[in-house]
């Protein structure tokens, strides 16, 4: 009976390790592709020709109950260095609280100052963000549409830095690189910044330079209006309308351009629950997009490299269920003899399994450390943060695994926005907590499950030490354990915190100016 159980554990472990190794190798390949394309002179898109006369641009600011950042983002858009006669601002507001009045009065004030600013308020959230963008597109005057989420602070020269890339008639969208105004506020925001830096600095750049598909990230970019319309417009049948539109546009032949040197700062979620909601939405939306578009994409006469990269990109959510299974299987598998129990006499198999495990262990570290090095950050500090980065990634894996299954089984869920707190570069690290009380949700079962997984792994560590079995797993068990406990306990604390409290707006004065 024990041997049967061991065989089952080993077979599952090999499947999980195999899938994760594929994505580990893909991380290495992206780093190699990044450097290889860089050496070939593709470090940045070629300098574009310039428009003899600047074209009209519409800035769209979608928002929903964003009282802490409403004024800041509208005023930032109005300060854009672009001729006023060619610039229209649309505030696409679905708010149901006092944010609506804040936005309306801010628009009125700027309109009186001579800005072409349109306040559009919907009484329902049909289509959520995609619905708001599509609704605004009907009255947009610009040939090009710039989109900024409410927490973004685009630099005044952004439009001038982007617009001339559209002199190439095949360019449908230009995406800038995100920067993070509160990257160093906490360990959690540091980890988030490193995650996103890897995506933008390595992933986006490598794909774009090598002619593979990339995606608009929903904000901090500019679209050609005709590209949106010809690609079917904004659609809301996935939670990642940006990814969906990006792939539909590229399937029609539009090119997307990524500008790594042009940055657009924004606020990272400082609270674990907000971070998990964001990751859940992104993961579920990417799987929904894969289900929607992959069949037709794979049938298109595209280069194999484009199809393979698109498949790995859209299906990357599969790593989360695999990560949860890995955390559950690691100890019992090695306690019962390890994968070699299936083929005990095969030295080749043992070497292969060891190589797979090494690839998996170091791939993420290589990927993110290279990204930090390219940004001029301390690569030594990045290496020291890798265990915590791995722990956070494992800690959110259960929530993201649920997102994958929700997408596959077509479970409907609302578009839950990421709360914004109006953080500035100099905002004290704990100042946002008084505002977070207004975003509390009822307690659910997920934090208890995460804590339960953490306690299970703690028992595995104790058993490994006491019984002196599977001791090579202990470092990984500790990382996984810390991740689940960290995320679970912080989530439970955030959900149990008081829903009401005195809000200290003095630390956020710039966000409330005007």
Q: Which of 94, 149, 151, 197 is catalytic?
A: 94
Residue 147: beta bridge partners?
Answer: 60, 221
Residue 257: beta bridge partners?
Answer: 174
Cα 499 to Cα 186: distance, rounded to the nearest angstrom: 22
Nearest one of 195, 204, 309 to 260, comparing CA atoms: 204
Nearest one of 194, 192, 216 to 204, comparing CA atoms: 216
Cα 418 to Cα 426: distance, rounded to the nearest angstrom: 21
Q: Is 94 designated active site?
A: yes
Q: Is 237 designated active site?
A: no
Q: Which of 149, 151, 197, 242 is catalytic?
A: 242
Q: How far is CA 266 from CA 2, 61, 177, 179, in A?
A: 54, 14, 10, 6
What tokens were used for 129?
A: 């963000």
Query: What's the DSSP call for residue 424?
Result: -
HEC profile for 244-287? Answer: HHHHHHHHCCCEEEEEEEEEEEECCCCCHHHHHHHHHHHHHHHH
Provide the 10 A C-beta neighbour count for residue 349: 15
Nearest one of 277, 288, 297, 296 to 315, comparing CA atoms: 288
What tokens were used for 34?
A: 């990044």
Q: What are phi and psi of 2, to 5 degrees?
A: -65, -40
For the packed helices 474-496 and 272-299, what is the interaxial angle rounded to 10 degrees? 110
What tokens were used for 213?
A: 């598909």
Cα 367 to Cα 479: distance, rounded to the nearest angstrom: 19
What tokens were used for 491?
A: 């989530």
Cα 177 to Cα 391: distance, rounded to the nearest angstrom: 26
Stretch (H or E) spanning 118: strand 116-121
Nearest one of 99, 92, 143, 149 to 121, comparing CA atoms: 92
Nearest 5°: the CA angle 55, 61, 64 is 165
Nearest one of 42, 95, 69 to 152, comparing CA atoms: 69
What tokens were used for 59?
A: 């800035």
Residues with active-site annotation: 94, 242
């Amino acid at each position: 009976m024990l041997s049967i159980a061991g065989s089952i554990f080993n077979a599952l472990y090999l499947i999980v390790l195999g899938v994760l190794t594929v994505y580990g190798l893909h991380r290495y390949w992206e780093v190699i592709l990044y450097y290889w394309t860089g050496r070939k002179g593709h470090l940045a898109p070629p300098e574009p020709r310039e428009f003899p006369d600047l074209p009209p641009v519409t800035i769209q600011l979608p928002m929903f109950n964003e009282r802490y950042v409403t004024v800041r983002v509208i005023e930032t858009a109005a300060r854009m260095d672009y001729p006023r006669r060619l610039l229209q601002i649309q505030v696409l507001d679905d708010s149901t609280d006092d944010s609506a009045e804040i936005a309306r009065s801010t628009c009125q004030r700027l309109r009186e100052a001579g800005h072409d600013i349109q306040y559009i308020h919907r009484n329902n959230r049909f289509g959520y963000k995609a619905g708001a963008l599509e609704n605004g597109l009907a009255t947009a005057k610009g040939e090009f549409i710039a989109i900024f989420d409410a927490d973004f602070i685009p630099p005044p020269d952004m439009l001038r830095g982007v617009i001339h890339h559209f002199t190439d008639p095949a360019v449908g969208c230009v995406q800038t690189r995100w920067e993070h105004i509160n990257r160093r506020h906490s360990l959690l925001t540091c980890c988030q910044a490193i995650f996103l830096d890897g995506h933008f600095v390595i992933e986006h750049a490598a794909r774009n330079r090598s002619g593979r598909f990339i995606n608009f990230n929903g904000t901090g970019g500019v679209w050609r209006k005709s590209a949106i319309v010809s690609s079917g417009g904004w659609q809301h049948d996935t939670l990642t309308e940006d990814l969906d539109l990006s792939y539909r546009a590229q399937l029609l032949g539009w090119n997307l351009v990524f500008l790594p040197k042009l940055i657009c700062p924004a606020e990272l979620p400082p609270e674990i629950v907000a971070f998990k909601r964001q990751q859940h939405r992104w993961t579920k939306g990417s799987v929904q997009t894969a289900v929607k578009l992959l069949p037709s994409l794979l049938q298109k006469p595209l280069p194999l490299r484009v199809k393979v990269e698109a498949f790995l990109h859209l299906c990357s959510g599969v790593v989360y269920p695999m990560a949860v299974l890995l955390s559950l299987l690691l100890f019992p598998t090695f306690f019962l003899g390890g994968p070699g129990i299936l083929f005990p006499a095969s030295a080749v198999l043992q070497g292969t399994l060891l190589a797979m495990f090494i690839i998996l262990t170091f791939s993420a570290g290589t990927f993110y450390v290279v990204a930090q090095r390219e940004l001029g950050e301390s690569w030594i500090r990045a290496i020291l943060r890798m265990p915590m980065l791995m722990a956070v990634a494992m800690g959110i894996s259960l929530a993201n695994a649920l997102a994958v299954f929700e997408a596959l089984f077509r479970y409907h869920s609302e578009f839950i926005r990421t709360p914004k707190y109006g953080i500035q570069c100099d905002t004290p690290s704990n100042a946002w907590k008084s505002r977070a009380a207004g975003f509390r949700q009822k307690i659910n079962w997920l934090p208890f499950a995460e804590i339960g997984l953490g306690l299970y792994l703690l028992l595995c560590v104790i058993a490994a030490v006491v019984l002196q079995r599977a001791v090579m797993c202990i470092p990984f068990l500790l990382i996984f354990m810390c991740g689940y406990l960290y995320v679970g306990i912080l989530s439970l604390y955030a959900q149990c915190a008081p829903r009401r409290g005195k809000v200290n707006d003095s630390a956020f004065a710039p966000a409330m100016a005007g």
